[in-house]
Homo-oligomer: A and B are copies of this chain.
Amino acid sequence: MTTPSVIDLLGVLAYGELTSFERTTQGAALAPTLADKVTLAAVAAREYANFERLCGHLQANGVDPLEAMQPFVKPLNDFHANLEARNWLEGLMKSYVGDGIAADFYREISMYLDVETTNLVIDVLSDTTLADFALEQVKAAIAQDPKIAGRLALWGRRMMGEMISQATVVAGSRPALQELFLGSVNAAELAGLVNKLTVAHARRMDQIGLAS
């Protein structure tokens, strides 16, 4: 099914995977060891495969992937420009926290679409290698130097704030995405979604040993 909502969701997801692929590869370039570099490069390659799969799905439904992605290029680029990681740990935190929130959000809203789209979205977002890797590395770094925890906690909170503000801007500019909420989702469900995302974010921060 290629309703405008589905096209918008797959478009933003596809561009999201493409930029994740770029960021994970930048992480690989900064990795302290060859083994870490190889781990991150493998994650990046899977993100590219997800991107290709989403584009393939759009194409199979007669939609040009470039057109579907285009509306989300500027908002996502702006989001990342506002939230540039300054070092290896901030980059890992960004993957862990930022990708985590985004994945929760996309999974939740895909539930209001057809089953095929829901399954595709869930499948594309199922890889936790990067989150596990980031969790392990950041926890180890905090254990070694507890002083860095405060700064990283702040970084995590800033990310949550930026994502909410950016999501509002994107949804506001895309009637099909807005309709997905205003049409299918009532106020109670919307409050429930925000609550779910906040709880999941707090649990992730807790797991990595930081205050949310």
Q: Does A35 contact B (CB under 8 A)?
A: yes
Copies of this protein chain in the complex:
2
CB distance from A84 to the nearest CB of B (A): 12
Cβ-defined contact, B48 with A44, below 8 A? yes
Q: How far is A19 from B18 in the complex, measured between Cα atoms in Å?
A: 19
Q: Please classify the interface of chain A as helix (H, G, I), strand (E, B), loop, or mixed, using the class held by over half of its residues.
A: helix
- B contact residues around A51 at 8 Å (CB): 41
Q: How far is A34 from B51 in the complex, measured between Cα atoms in Å?
A: 13
Cβ-defined contact, B22 with A28, below 8 A? yes
CB distance from A189 to the nearest CB of B (A): 33
| Residue of chain B at shortest CB distance from A67 | B34
Within 8 A of B (CB), among A59-94: 65-66, 69-70, 73
- Which of under 10, 10 to 19, 20 to 34, or 35 or more describes the interface residues of A? 20 to 34
Q: Does A171 contact B (CB under 8 A)?
A: no
| Residue of chain B at shortest CB distance from A22 | B29
Query: Which of B41, B49, B66 contacts A21, CB < 8 Å?
Result: B41
Q: Does A111 contact B (CB under 8 A)?
A: no
Q: Does A157 contact B (CB under 8 A)?
A: no
Q: How far is A48 from B52 in the complex, measured between Cα atoms in Å?
A: 15
CB distance from A15 to the nearest CB of B (A): 8
Q: Does A25 contact B (CB under 8 A)?
A: yes
CB distance from A88 to the nearest CB of B (A): 15
CB distance from A115 to the nearest CB of B (A): 28
Query: Which of B28, B29, B44, B66 contacts A38, CB < 8 Å?
Result: B66
Cβ-defined contact, A66 with B18, below 8 A? no
- B contact residues around A26 at 8 Å (CB): 25-26, 29
- B contact residues around A44 at 8 Å (CB): 25, 48
Q: How far is A38 from B21 in the complex, measured between Cα atoms in Å?
A: 11
Q: Does A45 contact B (CB under 8 A)?
A: yes
A-B residue pairs in contact (CB < 8 Å), sample of 8: A18-B38, A22-B25, A22-B41, A25-B25, A25-B44, A38-B66, A44-B48, A45-B45
